[in-house]
């Protein structure tokens, strides 16, 4: 798997993401500066990592979405290439039009930094191949604006088309207000585009890939991507 991690001013999770990709794929990802106008030749996966791109001025991800490199990312996605946006990366993908909806302030107006549980809604996508449908995983979150919102028609389409891949849930997999940490519509933690090759999610799977962290539930996402690309080769 040949991957590329985008780097914007203010982004701070690019090294975490690069380490996870290197550990699981066995290949060093390319680090691509926001001012570049192209991606490395042969890129399979583009990752937009978390952090605070451009200091989160205007709206989270609004400035980064207009960076030169994002035209190359849109072209990559249009050709069927894989794109993963995590946390601020999810916000950037929404702001750039690669995913529908917006990420609003958490409903309690507080920054949330803790481990949460997610229910994997389906296992037949490149981003969930490493899990079983209905499986509950534990991964960290660290965001102040992770409250996913969209109009009713969009939400109906996302749910009806199976485009919600991850939902916030309790430890035993129950989805509801008590386990919805930020007020996101339908407890949405991660969605894909119509073609299923672009995923945006608020939690950070890259921070739960090593035994030293006490949990390796994030490995399945990256291992599934490797398996998907190996199968397609």
CA–CA separation, 110 and 121 (whole Å):
27
Give 202: exposed, middle or buried? Use CB within 10 Å, 0-12, 13-18, 19+. buried
Residue of 117, 143, 204, 228 marked active site: 204
CA–CA separation, 138 vs 60, rounded Å? 25
Is 145 noted as a catalytic residue in this protein? Answer: no
Provide the token pair at 85: 């946006």
Catalytic residue among 87, 95, 117, 169: 87
| Token pair 């490395």 in the structure block, residue | 40
Compute φ and ψ for 198, nearest 5 degrees: -125, 120
- Give the span between the Cα atoms of 152 and 150, in whole angstroms: 7
Q: Which two tokens stand for residue 104?
A: 């609003």
Catalytic residue among 14, 95, 121, 206: 206
Active site residue 206: yes
Task: Output Rg (C-alpha) for the chain, integer angstroms.
Answer: 16
Residue 199 CA from chain centroid, whole number: 5
CA torsion 52-143-77-160 (nearest 10°) is -160
Residue 154 CA to residue 151 CA, distance in Å, equals 5
Is 34 tagged catalytic?
Answer: no
Give Cα separations from 42 to 34, 104, 181 (angstroms): 19, 35, 38
The set of catalytic residues is 87, 204, 206
């Amino acid at each position: 798997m040949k991957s590329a991690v985008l780097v914007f001013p203010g982004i701070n999770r690019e090294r975490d993401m690069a380490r996870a990709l290197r550990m699981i794929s066995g290949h060093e990802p390319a680090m691509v500066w926001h001012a570049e106008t192209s991606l490395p030749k042969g890129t399979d996966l583009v990752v937009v990592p978390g952090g605070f791109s451009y200091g989160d001025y205007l709206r989270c991800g609004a400035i980064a979405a207009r960076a030169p490199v994002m035209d190359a990312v849109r072209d990559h996605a249009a050709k069927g290439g894989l794109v993963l946006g995590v946390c601020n990366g999810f916000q950037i993908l929404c702001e750039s039009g690669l995913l529908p909806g917006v990420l609003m302030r958490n409903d309690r107006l507080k920054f949330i930094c803790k481990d949460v549980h997610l229910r994997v809604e389906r296992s037949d996508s490149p981003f969930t191949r490493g899990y079983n449908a209905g499986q509950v995983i534990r991964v960290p979150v660290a965001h102040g604006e992770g409250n996913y919102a969209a109009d009713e028609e969009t939400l109906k389409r996302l749910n009806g088309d199976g485009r919600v891949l991850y939902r916030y849930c309790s430890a035993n997999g129950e989805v509801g207000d008590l386990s919805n940490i930020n007020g996101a519509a339908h407890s949405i933690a991660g969605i894909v585009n119509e073609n299923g090759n672009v995923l945006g999610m608020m939690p950070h799977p890259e921070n739960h890939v090593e035994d030293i962290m006490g949990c390796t539930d994030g490995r399945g996402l990256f291992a599934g991507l490797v398996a998907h690309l190996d199968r397609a080769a």
